Amino acid sequence: MIIEGKIRTKINRWSVLLLLFLVQACQIEGDNLSLDNLPQPDFEATEVAPGRIQLTNKTNVPTIARWTVLSSGQKLEGDVVLASLIFEGSYDIKLDVIGQGGMATVTKTVSVAENDPQACDDETALGFLASCTQKTWKLNPEAGAFKVGPGADNGEWWSSGTADVITRACEFNDEFTFSFNAEGTFVYDNHGDFFADGYLGNKTAGCEPAANLKGDQTPWSSGTFKFSVVEGAGVRKLGQLRLIGKGAHIGVKKAHNGGETDSAPTWNEVTYDILERNKNVDGKGYDLLKIGVNIGGDGWWTFTLRSVG
């Protein structure tokens, strides 16, 4: 089923700032209006600790600065910021600036000399997700493993029950494996079947063989993709998980940022907010990870995963 939540009108803060700068920059001379020259964006990058890069805005005029690490989607704002680039190697970083003359952009390649030795600590979102080698997760085999409602971690519209662990066994056997490496390898294994849910494969209300995912729905089958983690981001500031690659998903396949599409994946990435991280639950030796994706307005799908092994 497709959930239609209440759509809230949002104002792009970046656009508002641009408008304010343009208004301030306009010089009135008689009937003529003039605008300052475009800023010339530039920045410096300094490695202050392993995997920690200080980025400093060096644009020729005062500006508001917004940064993006293109490989991970990590976003930062401010004239001086600290980016987490945990693996040795090269990263493309984009600086967007807005000044009285308008908006401008520059992208530079930044080199990291050595790995961050603390990055796989399970106190970090990445370390909890992938450990120091790799870590595999499944849907938690209990009621409420996946749900949808008005807000993160809300199942008011629908929530899986205890019986679904059996009737949707082909969904609960799916494995999601994250590797701690510079490539950010994410492997999805459906173990040869999937829950059709009325829109997949032959559109039944039960389990079907993986071979029934054909045509445009093929990318939703097992595959190897990429992932990245943005520490400290998301609605609860616990981090965000970004899956990269057409068809990459966790839980309900049709759910993506800003909507639901049940015909086939048309997006190339999806970002989940980390809502909870629980280590060694009740001393039973497994971890629980709760993530959510906003499908538009106040609508959210929430999934609870349990570590394997």
Among candidate residues 89, 112, 135, the one where a domain is terminated: 112
> Rounded to the nearest 5°, which phi and psi values hold at 85?
-125, 90
Same domain (yes/no): 304, 247: yes
Q: Quick one: the chain helix, strand, coil %, rounded to 5?
A: 15, 40, 45
How far the first Cα of the chain sits from its last, in Å, is: 33
| Count: domains in the chain | 2
Specify if 171 maps to a domain: yes
The predicted structure's pLDDT at residue 208:
98
pLDDT of residue 72: 81
Q: Which of 112, 145, 178 is the last residue of a domain?
A: 112
Same domain, 273 and 153: yes
Whether residues 91 and 179 share a domain: the answer is: no
User: In this structure, is residue 228 part of a structural domain?
Assistant: yes
Q: Residues 284, 139: one domain?
A: yes
Domain of residue 131 covers 125-308
- Rounded CA-CA distance 294/256 in Å is 7
| Alpha carbon distance 110, 134 (integer Å) | 27
Mean pLDDT per block of 10 residues along the chain (309 residues) reads 28 48 47 71 95 96 95 90 92 96 96 92 95 97 98 98 98 98 96 98 98 98 96 95 97 98 97 98 97 98 96
Q: Are residues 176 and 53 in the same domain?
A: no
Q: Are residues 134 and 247 in the same domain?
A: yes
Q: Give residue for tokens 């910021």.
A: 81
128 conformational bin, left if phi > 0, alpha if psi -120 to 50, beta if neither: alpha
Check: pTM over 0.75? Answer yes or no: yes
d(CA 56, CA 151): 36
Q: Are both 154 and 63 inside the same structural domain?
A: no
Together in a domain, 42 and 155: no
Q: Is the same domain home to 31 and 90?
A: yes
Residues 141 and 275 occupy one common structural domain: yes
Q: Which residue has the tokens 């829109």?
A: 199
| Claim to verify: residue 256 and residue 169 sit in the same structural domain | yes
| Measured CA angle at 120 (ends 115, 124), to 5 deg | 115
3-state DSSP assignment of residue 267? coil
CA–CA gap between residue 256 and residue 263 (Å, rounded) = 13
Whether residue 118 lies inside any domain: the answer is no
Of the candidates 243, 126, 116, 140, the residue with the CA atom closest to the CA atom of residue 188 = 243
In a domain, 248, yes or no: yes
Domain limit, last residue, from 112, 133, 148: 112
Q: Is 87 found in the same domain as 132?
A: no
